[in-house]
Amino acid sequence: MKLNLIGGDWVEGSAIRQNINPSDVDDVVGEYAQADAAQARMAIDVADAAQRTWSLSGIQARSNALEFNAAELLARQQELGTLLSREEGKTLAEGIAEVVRAGQIFRFFAGETLRVCGHRLPSVRPLVDVEITREPVGVVGIITPWNFPIAIPAWKIAPALAYGNSVVFKPSDLVPGSAWALAEIISRSGIPAGVFNLVMGRGSIVGNEFVKSEKVDALSFTGSVDTGRRLAEQAARGLKKTQLEMGGKNPLIVLNDADLDIAVNCAIQGAYYSTGQRCTASSRFIVQKDIHARFVSRVRDALKALNVGHALEPETNIGPVVDAEQLRTDQDYVEIGRHEGATLAYGGELLTRRTPGYYMSPAFFTDTTPEMRIAREEIFGPVACAIAVDTYEEALDVANDSEFGLSAGICTTSLKHATHFKRQMQTGMAMVNVPTAGVDYHVPFGGTKGSSYGPREQGSYATEFFTRVKTAYTQA
Ligand code: NAD
């Protein structure tokens, strides 16, 4: 059984949870300890006690620890990618790529540790200097979802440690394997005991302690809008610094002048790869009428050519849905779309494969209107719809008519429309002739409206959340 890491010790939980492979529900990936509230509080206490030592350890020690993690993640990409795909269900290529991404993030922040800048300015008062510096926030509570079991933890943990914070980390119940493997590597990276703690367990128990505790100074959460909103309200009462990354309903606009090969590739990659289980997945194709019939026919052909199957089989393009509950949600939305009057142009069926798993063919709706629930609500599965529009202006209005604002894309050869789109799209990320999903690790990530709250994640912008600013005055 895999245990929790608290204060440098591997600690048994109060319960055990099985990690089940969604490609083959007979395959138990492992058994993982579930912490209770008292253990979560213990982890917070040790993180609080260790934070000052870590913040004084110096940037070289911190950089070295991060580089250790980077090197090991990259060296073990095949093994850890296999574990990730086995527990989450994304294809092996996607699993390995995610582990590589986690390694790259640690390497990036190993460098950033050495580049924390401040300012020195003259004061408006003669003979006085002003220094503006960045300091650690303190104890950071990190709560992550199931769809990127190692990359999302990495992009929160790496900057937290880089800038001298201590960490209490609660991964999603569904995917503790990758989180545990990452924690095990970090435990050998040379950081003092208590600086990094892994507390696997229920959100409502372990996560709730992070939100309640006065000793947790900052909370970085990725997950659903409902959970995020509740956490933010509670965290605000304790005046915690809070960063939330939540859902999306990301549009991909396809204009008449688009390169159809690029548009179809963006649609398939963006909407259906990783089984559509990405916050940045395209789920609304907003297509100008002259190209609509050709686009629909090409997307349908491309979907027919995709293999849905066991995540670890080399010919698989699309793995299973993560669990029975998500599969039920996806199937419910297929029914909702039909009842709303949309046409199911492809897929949406449950599939039987060699092993018992949560398999579903990618679903593609046409004759969709912007008011339909399938065009408004986040489904978080391999389900997308096409909405026909007359003009670019109408496409932009439909794209912006959403409670979410994470990522948006346009396929066009018009510089005028691409430029206007980048300026007018009310999202945190705007993509021209590239999929809405799939981002770089050295630049900020995040959205607007109901998708994100608080400072951006990733790249050098991570300092805004993971550090505090101090202004010091000195009279010479
Ligand atoms: P979720 O909200 O159900 O759970 C997220 C995490 O919060 C889990 O670790 C869970 O255990 C924990 N949690 C649940 N209740 C809690 C509580 N009361 N107190 C504290 N913690 C609690 O989300 P999920 O189903 O794991 O993930 C899917 C969602 O994540 C989707 O909505 C997706 O869009 C979103 N997501 C967003 C991004 C982004 O960067 N914007 C990235 C990936 C996923």
Ligand 1 binding residues, C-beta < 6 A: 143-148, 170, 172-173, 203-204, 207-208, 211, 222-224, 227, 231, 245-248, 279, 378, 380, 406, 451
Instruction: Identify the band that residue 227 occupies on the pLDDT scale cut at 50, 70 and 90.
Output: very high
Residues 6+ apart with CB under 8 A from 274: 90, 94, 147, 281, 319, 437
Protein residue with its CA nearest to atom 40 in ligand 1: 245
Q: Please check whether residues 74 and 200 belong to one and the same domain.
A: yes
**243 Cα–ligand 1 center, Å:** 13
Whole-model pTM: value is: 0.98
Q: Residue 343: pLDDT above 90?
A: yes
Instruction: Give the pairing type, strands 9-11 and 282-288.
Output: unpaired
Q: Residue 207: pLDDT above 90?
A: yes
pLDDT at 183: 98
Mean pLDDT (whole number) for 452-473: 97
Query: Which of 178, 279, 456 is the pocket-test mutation for ligand 1 (most atoms within 8 Å of CB)?
Result: 279
pLDDT at 396: 98
Q: Please check whether residues 294 and 153 belong to one and the same domain.
A: no
pLDDT at 262: 98
pLDDT at 185: 99
pLDDT at 127: 94
Query: Which of 34, 168, 173, 246 is the pocket-test mutation for ligand 1 (most atoms within 8 Å of CB)?
Result: 246
Protein residue with its CA nearest to atom 13 in ligand 1: 203
**pLDDT tens, 168-189?**
999 999 999 999 999 999 999 9
Element (H, E) at 143: strand 139-143
CB-CB neighbours of 165 under 10 Å? 26
**pLDDT tens, 50-99?**
999 999 999 999 999 999 999 999 999 999 999 999 999 999 999 999 99
245 in catalytic set: yes
Protein residue with its CA nearest to atom 16 in ligand 1: 203
Element (H, E) at 48: helix 37-55
Distance CA 179, CA 199 (A): 10
Percent of the chain with pLDDT over 70: 100
Among the options 88, 112, 279, 378, which is catalytic?
Answer: 279
Q: Please check whether residues 419 and 465 belong to one and the same domain.
A: no
The tally of CA atoms less than 13 A away on the side-chain side of residue 340 is: 21
Q: Please check whether residues 240 and 255 belong to one and the same domain.
A: no
Q: Residue 289: pLDDT above 90?
A: yes
**130 Cα–ligand 1 center, Å:** 42
Q: What CATH code is carried by the domain that includes residue 298?
A: 3.40.309.10
Asked whether residue 427 is assigned to any structural domain, the reply reads: yes
Question: Residue 79's domain spans which residues?
Answer: 4-246+451-475
Asked whether residue 446 is assigned to any structural domain, the reply reads: no
Q: What is the number of the ligand 1 atom nearest to the C-alpha of 230?
A: 18
In total, how many domains does the chain have? 2
Asked whether residue 372 is assigned to any structural domain, the reply reads: yes
* Three-state secondary structure of 407-476: EEEEECCCHHHHHHHHHHCCCCEEEECCCCCCCCCCCCECCEECCEECCCECHHHHHHHHEEEEEEEEEC
Which long-range CB contacts under 8 A does 321-325 form with residues at least 24 apart? 321/22, 321/89, 321/275, 321/277, 321/358, 321/359, 321/360, 321/381, 321/382, 322/22, 322/88, 322/89, 322/146, 322/147, 322/174, 322/275, 322/277, 322/358, 323/20, 323/22, 323/174, 323/358, 324/358
Q: Please check whether residues 326 and 428 belong to one and the same domain.
A: yes
Q: Please check whether residues 262 and 234 belong to one and the same domain.
A: no
Instruction: Identify the band that residue 245 occupies on the pLDDT scale cut at 50, 70 and 90.
Output: very high
Q: Please check whether residues 227 and 150 belong to one and the same domain.
A: yes
Asked whether residue 319 is assigned to any structural domain, the reply reads: yes
Q: Please check whether residues 426 and 461 belong to one and the same domain.
A: no
What's the token pair of residue 318?
A: 């699309």
Cβ atoms 323, 174 nearer than 8 A: yes
What's the token pair of residue 136?
A: 């650690």
Cβ atoms 9, 33 nearer than 8 A: no
Q: What is the number of the ligand 1 atom nearest to the C-alpha of 445?
A: 40
Q: Please check whether residues 189 and 280 belong to one and the same domain.
A: no
Query: Which of 220, 227, 403 is the pocket-test mutation for ligand 1 (most atoms within 8 Å of CB)?
Result: 227
Q: Please check whether residues 187 and 214 belong to one and the same domain.
A: yes
**pLDDT tens, 348-404?**
999 999 999 999 999 999 999 999 999 999 999 999 999 999 999 999 999 999 999
The tally of CA atoms less than 13 A away on the side-chain side of residue 266 is: 30
Percent of the chain with pLDDT over 90: 100
Protein residue with its CA nearest to atom 35 in ligand 1: 223
Amino acid at 68: F
Q: What is the number of the ligand 1 atom nearest to the C-alpha of 245?
A: 41
Q: Is 49 exposed, middle or buried (0-12, 13-18, 19+ CB in 10 A)?
A: middle
Sign of the C-alpha dihedral computed for residues 385, 389, 394 and 395 taken in this order: positive
Mean pLDDT (whole number) for 303-329: 98
Asked whether residue 438 is assigned to any structural domain, the reply reads: no
Instruction: Identify the band that residue 476 occupies on the pLDDT scale cut at 50, 70 and 90.
Output: confident
Which of 223, 215, 212, 218 has its CA nearest to residue 247?
Answer: 223
Which of 306, 333, 330 has its CA nearest to residue 318?
Answer: 306
Alpha-carbon distances of 61 from 58, 64, 99, 139, 172, rounded to whole Å: 6, 5, 24, 19, 30
Q: What is the number of the ligand 1 atom nearest to the C-alpha of 171?
A: 9
**435 Cα–ligand 1 center, Å:** 23
Among the options 87, 94, 245, 457, which is catalytic?
Answer: 245
Asked whether residue 442 is assigned to any structural domain, the reply reads: no
Q: Please check whether residues 203 and 304 belong to one and the same domain.
A: no
Query: Which of 90, 155, 172 is the pocket-test mutation for ligand 1 (most atoms within 8 Å of CB)?
Result: 172
**pLDDT tens, 112-154?**
999 999 999 999 999 999 999 999 999 999 999 999 999 999 9
**222 Cα–ligand 1 center, Å:** 5
Mean pLDDT score across all residues of the chain: 98
Distance CA 28, CA 30 (A): 5
Distance CA 316, CA 306 (A): 8
325 in catalytic set: no
Protein residue with its CA nearest to atom 34 in ligand 1: 247
Asked whether residue 16 is assigned to any structural domain, the reply reads: yes
Q: What CATH code is carried by the domain that includes residue 63?
A: 3.40.605.10
Q: What is the number of the ligand 1 atom nearest to the C-alpha of 143?
A: 9
pLDDT at 160: 98
pLDDT at 258: 98
**44 Cα–ligand 1 center, Å:** 21
**pLDDT tens, 394-434?**
999 999 999 999 999 999 999 999 999 999 999 999 999 99
Asked whether residue 437 is assigned to any structural domain, the reply reads: no
SS3 content of the chain, % helix, strand, coil (to 5): 40, 25, 35
Protein residue with its CA nearest to atom 32 in ligand 1: 224
Instruction: Give the pairing type, strands 407-411 and 429-432.
Output: parallel
* CA–CA–CA angle 6, 7, 8 (5° rounding): 90
Distance CA 440, CA 96 (A): 16
> Alpha helix (H) ranges present in 113-237?
151-162, 176-187, 208-212, 225-237
Distance CA 224, CA 378 (A): 9
**61 Cα–ligand 1 center, Å:** 32
Q: Please check whether residues 185 and 98 belong to one and the same domain.
A: yes
